[in-house]
Amino acid sequence: MERIEQHASWGGRQEVWKHASSALGVEMKVGVYLPPAALAGQACPVLYWLSGLTCTEQNFITKAGAQQFAAAHNIILVAPDTSPRGEGVANDDAYDLGQGAGFYLNATQAPWASHFRMEDYVTQELPALVAKHFVTTGKQSIFGHSMGGHGALTLALRHPGLYQSVSAFSPIVAPSQVPWGQKAFTAYLGEDQAQWAAHDAVALIAKAQERLPLLVDQGLQDDFLDSQLQPGLLEAAAKASNHPLTLRLQPGYDHSYYFIASFMEEHIAHHAAYLK
């Protein structure tokens, strides 16, 4: 890991690191916010943020306003890029497939399978790197936005015990049933829709081994609400399985980081309660 950016922020330090990723076979960048307690040498828990389509590690660290709340709760924030990138990595001209659109799963289909292994990266390689380079309590949680909300929900549901808590802003809750997910899953996982259910939060809830409470905020002025997000599908699935879900529909809010920033304080407080 090599530190390529550092900025004092709310008494702590916002850093960006780059490192060779064995899971992805490329160099990756990741934002790391160290709260004041971490700079003072205290062990802190880790909260992972997964960004949405087209984002890099920069969007969250510059726009979400999360550092002040991570500082208050002594939480390390880790925000990776959304996919492998580079000339040797498969890509697509569209914004919703390929580089910038990894969907937090391990692709099984050509030409994606050789690099697009974001599930292994986020759940295995990155936590190991974080534990090696920073002083952590060993406890970790996860949240994200849109495609990253899908990532947070599915990785938490697929890996019981790995995260203390999970939350999402405007998540793609049922990728198997909406255009963004159908396109990405067809490319990364193939035509067999039986494979898709394993990466679909609504489908996963039905067989969840762990009743990890889900906190979801969704803006009602979100342009993607009906076409891509459909939080009602998550609500119905949670109800059918008696899975704890707090779904908050926020009038007036859209899909942007203005929405995310407005409710960041409550999400970080939610995770802080579980990470203690």
Task: Just list the catalytic residues.
Answer: 146, 222, 255
Stretch that binds a copy of itself, among 11-19, 113-121, 154-162, 240-248 (CB under 8 A): 11-19
Stretch that binds a copy of itself, among 1-9, 22-30, 73-81, 208-216 (CB under 8 A): 1-9
At 16, list the tokens.
Answer: 């960006």
Check residue 62 for interaction with a copy of itself (CB under 8 A): yes
Check residue 7 for interaction with a copy of itself (CB under 8 A): yes
Number of residues written out for the chain: 276
Single residue of 98, 100, 219, 231 touching a copy of itself by CB under 8 A: 219
- One symbol per residue from 14 to 33: x for binding a copy of itself (CB under 8 A), - otherwise; what is it? x-------------------
Single residue of 199, 259, 267, 275 touching a copy of itself by CB under 8 A: 259
Provide the total of helices (H) and of strands (E) in the chain, helices listed first: 11, 9
Single residue of 65, 190, 213, 232 touching a copy of itself by CB under 8 A: 65
- Calpha distance 272→163 (Å, rounded): 12
| Residue 225 DSSP class | I
Check residue 58 for interaction with a copy of itself (CB under 8 A): no
193 exposed, middle or buried (CB, 10 Å; 0-12, 13-18, 19+)?
Answer: middle
Single residue of 18, 197, 254, 274 touching a copy of itself by CB under 8 A: 254
Ranges assigned E (strand) in the chain: 2-9, 12-21, 26-34, 44-50, 76-80, 136-145, 166-169, 214-219, 245-250
Helix (H, G, I), strand (E, B) or coil at 9: strand
Residue type, 130: V
- Calpha distance 76→98 (Å, rounded): 29
- Calpha distance 261→264 (Å, rounded): 5
* Per-residue buried b or exposed e for 166-183, using 16+ beta carbons within 10 Å of the residue's own CB: bbbbbbbbbbbbbebbeb
Between strands 26-34 and 76-80, the pairing is antiparallel
Check residue 262 for interaction with a copy of itself (CB under 8 A): yes
Check residue 67 for interaction with a copy of itself (CB under 8 A): yes
At 263, list the tokens.
Answer: 């409710």
CB of 265 to a copy of itself, least distance (A): 8
Stretch that binds a copy of itself, among 58-66, 84-92, 142-150, 178-186 (CB under 8 A): 58-66
Element (H, E) at 158: helix 147-158
Check residue 246 for interaction with a copy of itself (CB under 8 A): no
Check residue 8 for interaction with a copy of itself (CB under 8 A): yes
CB of 262 to a copy of itself, least distance (A): 5
Residue 229 or 233 having the CB closest to a copy of itself = 229
Contact positions vs a copy of itself (CB under 8 A): 7-11, 13-14, 62-63, 65, 67-68, 219, 221, 250, 252-254, 256-259, 261-262
